[in-house]
Amino acid sequence: MDKRTLKDLLYEQVARIGKAVSSPKRLELLELLAQGEKTVEALAAELSIDIKLASAHLKALKDARLATSRRDGKYRVYRLTGSDVAGLWVMLRQVAEEHLLALRLALDRMVADPARLASVGREELLEQARRGDIIVIDVRPQAEYATAHLPFARSMPVAEIEKRLTELPTGKEIVAYCRGPFCLLADEAVALLGAKGYRIRKILDGVSEWQAAGLPLQTAVDE
């Protein structure tokens, strides 16, 4: 094999990853699968697409070795092939935020009220949660929380908050998080609890951002 052919082959293989993540829906699938393994049906519902299209997108990720699957009864369950794939999603998003003005403007609209953002850094947040100075709530589905969550966080899915208000002390600040900067579940929690008189803010991090920063995570097994 001559040098040119070899180089073409090398770049072609790396380009397989670029092709796999060139779809907005497949990027969203990476973010969802970074929360834990999910069935095709659950992923299709999250993306508001039909199962056939979701399967096609998942096949593209699988062909690029970014995802893998297993059979669970009549269901096909997908997961990422490694934590580095979740890190790839975080890196792509961060590069896009740095260089694409349209994305930064869209994110600014999502955070229309900066006062709703927790102002402390990650390590200080962790220390405040450890001391019990703040209450951190994970508003994703409980299964995602069980897979991995921020240390000292409580599982409180958005759909359950109304029924579990007595579990939240009114005298402490509450910090909510979900799947990352593009996730709106934390915004729902902030609006709901704020209307009930709670002092609540959110952070933009999810477990992928936390892991990419080299900070610890916990699972249900650790507790």
pTM reported for the whole predicted model: 0.91
What are the residue ranges spanned by the domains of the chain? 3-86, 113-222
What's the CA gap between 78 and 92, in Å, rounded?
21
Tell me how far CA of residue 137 lies from CA of 97, 110, 174, 190, 196, in angstroms: 26, 20, 7, 11, 16
CA angle at 64 for the pair 63 and 67, rounded to the nearest 5°: 80
CATH architecture of 3-86: Orthogonal Bundle (1.10)
C-alpha triplet 78, 84, 89: angle, nearest 5°: 75
Architecture of domain 113-222: 3-Layer(aba) Sandwich (3.40)
Q: Given 27, 86, 178, 186, which residue is catalytic? A: 178
Q: How many CA atoms does the CB half-sphere of 157 hold within 13 Å? A: 9
Active site residue 183: no
Q: Give, for all 223 residues of the chain, the pLDDT tens digit.
A: 889 999 999 999 999 999 999 999 999 999 999 999 999 999 999 999 999 999 999 999 999 999 999 999 999 999 999 999 999 999 999 999 999 999 999 888 877 665 577 777 899 999 999 999 999 999 999 999 999 999 999 999 999 999 999 999 988 999 999 999 999 999 999 999 999 999 999 999 999 999 999 999 998 766 5
